[in-house]
């Protein structure tokens, strides 16, 4: 194949930013981004968005030049995505914050409650159980981020981390303040309610971990090939027969259990808001599956079997 000429224009004003000659047809979009980066160190590959049209959809890094609808001269339009941060860093920041915030309220460090309660402990055993469950959830998420998750997209805009952290950290403050408050009132139905809720929480945590392991095994390291997830021999994965995103189903179930366990209004609000957000994500993922796979199981719902 003949070598190509590649020009990169600014998507806003059509100004020519770079002209590359003798580019191999087998070059990927990521290769072109790397060449662009060499000419301008400010725009590293993760910060670049290249499109075939000024208002078009960004091309994927793995797209190959000779497979695109371009001739011997390819024109790409550049958009600056702004400063980027890795998804792994975002996940860790989201989770570490609530973990330590909650523990500050649990140990009743000074300046949170009245001075006479500084470094005291609650007389209600459900408060200690709630701290254990809350800490377990975020430690689990941190470990999954470090050792289990494989991120399709390496980075996200830096500005988003402030929005994400504000959501998780503020809710952690609100929940922890009331659950660990010296005047906290235990659940109305007592021990039976707490034990039932604990069972729901533990079941969903195990289910969530099982789903994450299944999704990890679905994608080899470095691969961006998408596959349909199916149930495995693990019973916690059998929900894949009915739901496209059971990781969200189990996540909502965990917080529902935590809500019942603590009988705390802020936790209920967090669960509802989280359910709404995760439903939106699940619907998007479900549509993506249907669009990409003609053989995708039609019985599946996005997040709740037969309902939603």
Q: Which residues are within 8 A (CB) of 122 and not within 5 positions of it... i.e. 6 or more apart?
A: 128, 180, 182, 184
The Cα 258–Cα 256 span in angstroms is 5
Q: Which residues are within 8 A (CB) of 197 and not within 5 positions of it... i.e. 6 or more apart?
A: 187, 257, 258, 259, 260, 261
pLDDT given for residue 1 in this prediction: 61
Q: At 77, phi and psi to the nearest 5?
A: -105, 130
- DSSP letter for 80, please: E
For the four alpha carbons of 232, 234, 238 and 244, in that order, the dihedral sign comes to: negative
Range from 8-12, 182-186, 301-305 carrying the lowest mean pLDDT: 8-12
The Cα 67–Cα 28 span in angstroms is 10
How long is the chain? 308
The Cα 91–Cα 12 span in angstroms is 32
The Cα 182–Cα 114 span in angstroms is 9
Contacts made by residues 147-153, CB under 8 angstroms, sequence distance 24+: 148/212, 148/213, 148/216, 149/88, 149/91, 149/212, 149/216, 150/216, 150/219, 150/221, 151/86, 151/87, 151/88, 152/224, 153/87
For the four alpha carbons of 291, 225, 150 and 298, in that order, the dihedral sign comes to: positive
Partnered with residue 86 across adjacent β-strands are 155
The Cα 173–Cα 269 span in angstroms is 13
The Cα 165–Cα 192 span in angstroms is 35
Q: Which residues are within 8 A (CB) of 263 and not within 5 positions of it... i.e. 6 or more apart?
A: 185, 186, 187, 188, 193
pLDDT given for residue 61 in this prediction: 83
pLDDT tens for 105-132 read 999 999 999 999 999 999 999 999 999 9
pTM over 0.85: yes
As a whole number, mean pLDDT of residues 297-305 equals 95
pLDDT tens for 41-100 read 888 888 888 998 888 888 888 888 888 888 778 889 999 888 889 889 999 999 999 999
As a whole number, mean pLDDT of residues 291-295 equals 92
Q: Largest Cα–Cα distance of the chain, in whole Å?
A: 80
The Cα 66–Cα 69 span in angstroms is 8
Which residue ranges form the domains of the chain, and what is each CATH number?
A: 4-82 (3.10.20.90), 84-186 (no CATH), 211-308 (no CATH)
Q: What is the DSSP string of 233-284?
A: SSGGGGGGGTBS-HHHHHHHHHHHHHHHHHT-HHHHHHHHHHHHHHHHHHHH
Contact 303, 252 (CB under 8 A): yes
Average pLDDT value over all residues in the chain: 92
Residue 221 has pLDDT above 80, yes or no: no
The Cα 19–Cα 229 span in angstroms is 42
């Amino acid at each position: 194949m003949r070598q190509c000429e590649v020009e990169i224009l600014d998507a806003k004003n059509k100004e020519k930013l770079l002209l590359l000659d003798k580019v191999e047809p087998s070059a990927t979009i990521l290769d072109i981004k790397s060449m662009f980066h060499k000419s301008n160190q400010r725009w590293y590959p993760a910060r670049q968005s290249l499109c075939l049209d000024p208002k078009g959809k960004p091309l994927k890094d793995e797209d190959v030049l000779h497979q695109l609808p371009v001739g011997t001269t390819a024109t790409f339009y550049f958009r600056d995505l702004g400063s980027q941060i890795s998804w792994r860093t975002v996940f860790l920041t989201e989770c570490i914050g609530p973990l330590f915030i909650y523990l500050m309220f649990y140990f009743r460090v000074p300046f949170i409650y009245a001075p006479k309660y500084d470094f005291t402990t609650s007389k209600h055993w459900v408060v200690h159980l709630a701290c254990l469950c809350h800490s377990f959830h975020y430690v689990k998420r941190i470990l999954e981020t470090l050792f289990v998750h494989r991120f399709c997209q390496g980075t996200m805009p830096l500005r988003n981390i402030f929005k994400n952290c504000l959501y998780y950290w503020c809710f952690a403050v609100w929940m922890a303040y009331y659950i660990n408050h010296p005047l906290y009132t235990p659940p109305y139905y007592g021990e039976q309610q707490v034990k039932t809720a604990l069972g729901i929480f533990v079941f969903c945590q195990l289910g969530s971990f099982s789903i994450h392991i299944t999704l990890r095994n679905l994608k080899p390291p470095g691969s961006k090939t998408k596959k349909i997830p199916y149930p495995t021999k693990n019973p916690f994965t059998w929900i894949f027969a009915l739901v496209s995103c059971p990781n969200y189903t189990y996540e909502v179930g965990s917080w529902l259990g935590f809500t019942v366990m603590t009988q705390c209004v802020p936790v209920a609000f967090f669960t509802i808001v989280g359910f709404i957000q995760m439903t939106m994500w699940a619907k998007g993922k479900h549509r993506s599956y249907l669009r990409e796979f003609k053989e995708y199981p039609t019985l599946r719902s996005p997040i709740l079997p037969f309902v939603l």
